[in-house]
A and B are shown apart, each in its own frame.
With several copies, the nearest count.
Chain A
Amino acid sequence: MTRKLTYVQAFNEAVRQEMAANDDVFCAGEDIGAFGGVFQSYAGLQAEFGKRRVVDTPISEQAIIGLGVGAAVTGLRPIVDIMFMDFICVAFDQIVNQAAKLKYMFGGAATIPLTITTGGGGGLSAAAQHSQSLEALLCHIPGLKVVHPSNPYDMKGLMTACIRENNPTIMIKHKRLLGMSGEVPEEPYEIPLGTANVLRVGKDVTVIGWGRMVNEALTAAELLAADGIDVEVIDPRTLQPLDSATIIESVKKTNRAVIVHEAVRFGGLGAEVAAQIQEEAFDYLDAPVGRIAAPFSPVPFSPVLEAHYLPSVDDIVAGIRAAVARPGA
């Protein structure tokens, strides 16, 4: 039986259900207890499960991740929160050199069922240190898995999968999607990590996007449909491991691809997707793989600057038009 939940409520429900089902699951982070977290992701959990299982921590991101790594390697299933994605930089060693590598360095002996949750993305005039989309940094690190849902249904299914996953996963919540509402089943369910979702079937061009941007891409697709441009929209949902097969298959059908993300274009994950597409579908491509992304600058504060900085539906429409404009083979 399903009903409408917001993106953040879906997150919260996944955590609550997994905590109810398994005492090994606990949460730790800044202000997540009585307050429920600055995004209310953890609202009500301390009231329901007590201070033993929902822990307010000091402002110590390195120790927060370390707490998760140490508790995971000794048998628990920690969910630790890094309030804003920008703050992963403060705990980067524990994420990149410890959580991601422990299992390998120990010759496989360690298992790290750790979930790191964080809020990413721009659009709130939160400026350069509270608005970044840093998924590319994490996806380049062997040992990590990275998830970034674009809607409430995916959020619950992916968060449930993260908590049940036996590797360190980073769940990126998009701050601008927290209030997004959608149908979500009551019972627990998993969306397997590494499976992309074809949100819209089309034949003219494949658009790959994630987080808030894939929703903008859907809007762009509807606009273009009016002009007879039939866009296929793919949301990888899991960014590491990336479901390349679904993407390649689609591009082999449409012969054109455009990638959309909020992170800066240079060195963004879009580069990897574009590189893989031209490697795997070279003979099928009728146009270069396009990338719609932020320019090479920190995220500006002023709304007029940020609105210009973040990819918009118009930018996506223009990018898709450019891709389909080229004469086919």
Chain B
Amino acid sequence: MELSTDVQMDLHRRMVRIRLFEEAAGRLAEAAKLPGFLHLYVGQEAVASGVCATLSDDDQITSTHRGHGHLVAKGGQFNEMMAELMGKATGYCKGRGGSMHISNLDVGMLGANGIVGAGAPIAVGAGFANKYSDNGNVAAAFFGDGSTNIGAFHEAANMACALKLPVLFICENNEYGEFTARRDTMAITDIVDRAAGYGMPGVIVDGMDVVAVHEAAVEAAARARRGEGPSLIEAKTYRFYNHHGVQNLGLKYRTDDEVAVWKERDPIFTFEHRLIEAGTASRADFDAIWAELRDDIETAIQFAEDSPLPDPAAVLADVYTLMTPAEGASV
């Protein structure tokens, strides 16, 4: 598939936006300016970008604990995201959700999720609604290699196939679940080997190559929109930072060599190199993009820091739609 310059530059832009947002979040976390847990997406940018570039705001995605990258790729705005990470009233979740529950229904992002595997069944529900309403939309579930060992993933994959729903199962295989290697928790090497057990096609792609991911996603989405059911895409990728936070806390669950080898394959820099080689864009073009987006990040940090905190007195707001007096009695 020949990708137009626009599409390629769009893929690049999505990746850079994720990288800059995550690097900024990491810095703020190390400066103790972000409360709670932080799971950075750095290194995996090609997966969210390659998939979301073929989705519209009306298509839905479900995410994981590592969800900022997915929201950025789906069109999330820096200001509301940074404000949410800081727990401010202007955040996407009004400070109630934070990093692990960041979401924005306007762009079809049905939430990061603190429960491993829990997003996939919800994506199946969105896919069901798409088919039910015959609206031509698809739902994509992002999940990690480790999450494919949990029951919810299995039930979701089987249900989507049994009901032939427009769902994309996007596995980001970064070879680790927290601090434990994938090989210690499953007897298979490729997650894609699970696809046949549900009766859906499965394909392995280089998760560090945004074009490869995009092409696979375009095909899977087209298939789903044609009413031919779900697909599983396994993207082989790697997270550059620790499971949560930034530093590896000197943990030796991954060797420096292994990390170095993967960083060599940085999805953004390798892609920029290819585009320059192909004459599609110049270093100067990219520098301009990075500079522009860096400004956006600085603006977002400022916005978040200047934003008001949520009103503690309103802690009970948003538990229910339309509180009734009787509900008040439960408080």
Query: Are A and B in direct contact (Cβ within 8 Å)?
Result: yes
Q: A: which residues have CB within 8 A of B?
A: 26, 28, 30-31, 33-35, 38, 52, 55-76, 78, 86-87, 89-90, 93-94, 97-98, 102-112, 124-130, 142-143, 145, 166-167, 192-195, 238, 240-245, 265-266, 295-298, 300-305, 307-309
**Complex contacts, A245 vs chain B, CB 8 Å:** 326, 329
Whether the pair A60, B101 counts as a contact (CB closer than 8 A) is: no
A93 touches B316 (CB 8 A): no
* Residues of chain A contacted by B62 (CB below 8 angstroms): 70
CA of A26 to CA of B131, assembled, Å: 13
Q: Which residues of B contact A33 (CB under 8 A)?
A: 180
CA distance A73 to B327 in the complex (A): 22
Q: Please name 20 pairs of A and B residues whose Cβ atoms are closer than 8 Å in the assembled complex, sorted by A.
A: A28-B128, A58-B186, A61-B150, A64-B159, A65-B121, A66-B120, A70-B110, A70-B125, A90-B115, A105-B93, A105-B97, A127-B100, A194-B325, A241-B328, A243-B329, A265-B331, A296-B330, A298-B319, A302-B98, A305-B95
Contact B121 A67 (CB under 8 A): yes
A70 CB contact (under 8 Å) in B35, B95, B128: B128
Q: Is the CB of A70 within 8 A of B127?
A: yes
The answer on a CB contact under 8 Å between A55 and B163 is yes
Interchain nearest-CB distance for B285 vs A (Å) = 36
Q: How far is the CB of A41 from chain B (nearest CB, A)?
A: 14
Known: A103-B318, A295-B315. A60 touches B95 (CB 8 A): no
B96 partner residues in chain A, CB cutoff 8 A = 104-108, 127-128, 298, 300-302, 305
Smallest beta-carbon distance A122→chain B, Å: 11
List chain B residues, Cβ under 8 A from A94: 118, 121, 152
Q: Which residues of B contact A71 (CB under 8 A)?
A: 125-126, 128-129, 132
Known: A59-B117, A62-B121, A70-B139. A301 touches B329 (CB 8 A): no
Closest to B167 in A: A70
Known contacts A68-B125, A129-B114, A303-B87; decide if A241 and B324 are in contact (CB<8 Å).
Answer: yes
Residue pair B326, A238 in contact (C-beta under 8 Å): yes
> Residue B247 at the A interface, CB < 8 A?
no
Distance A180 CA – B316 CA, assembled complex (angstroms) = 31
Instruction: Quote the shortest CB–CB distance from B117 to chain A (angstroms).
Output: 7
Smallest beta-carbon distance A66→chain B, Å: 2
**10 other contacts beyond A30-B178, A93-B118, with CB at 8 A cut-off?**
A55-B163, A63-B121, A67-B124, A71-B128, A90-B115, A102-B111, A106-B105, A106-B111, A238-B326, A304-B312
Q: A58-B186, A63-B124, A63-B156 are in contact. Are A125 and B87 (CB under 8 A)?
A: yes
Residue from A70, A89, A195, A244 within 8 A of B121 (CB atoms):
A70
| Contact A111 B87, CB 8 Å, known A102-B111, A304-B310 | no
Q: Could you say which residues of chain B place their CB within 8 Å of the CB of A244?
A: 326, 329
The interface residues of chain A lying within 8 Å CB-to-CB of B162 are 57-58
Q: Which partner residue on chain A sits nearest B144 by CB separation?
A: A59
| Residues A166 and B105 in contact, CB atoms below 8 Å apart | no
Do A35 and B152 touch across chains, with their CB atoms under 8 A apart? no
Q: Distance (Å) between the CB of B60 and the closest chain A CB?
A: 6
Interface check B184, CB cutoff 8 A = yes
CA distance A94 to B329 in the complex (A): 25
A126–B98 Cα distance when bound, in Å, is 8
Determine if B185 and A303 form an interchain contact, defined as CB atoms under 8 angstroms apart.
Answer: no
B101 touching A302, Cβ below 8 Å = no
Contact between chains at B121 and A241 (CB < 8 Å): no
Select B35's contact among A31, A52, A63, A301, beta carbons within 8 Å.
Answer: A301
Flag if A70 contacts B105 (CB, 8 Å): no
For B180, give its contact among A30, A70, A98, A143 (CB under 8 Å): A30
Q: With A105-B101, A241-B324 known to touch, is A59 a contact of B93 (CB < 8 Å)?
A: no
Contacting residues, chain A, for B124 (C-beta < 8 A): 63, 66-67, 70
Least CB separation from B328: chain A residue: A241
| Chain A positions within 8 Å of B156 at CB level | 62-63, 66
CA distance A169 to B111 in the complex (A): 21
Nearest B residue to A99 by beta-carbon distance? B122
Task: Kindly list chain A residues whose C-beta atoms are within 8 Å of the C-beta of B87.
Answer: 125, 301-305
The answer to whether residues A241 and B329 also contact, given A107-B318, A302-B98 and a CB cut-off of 8 A, is yes
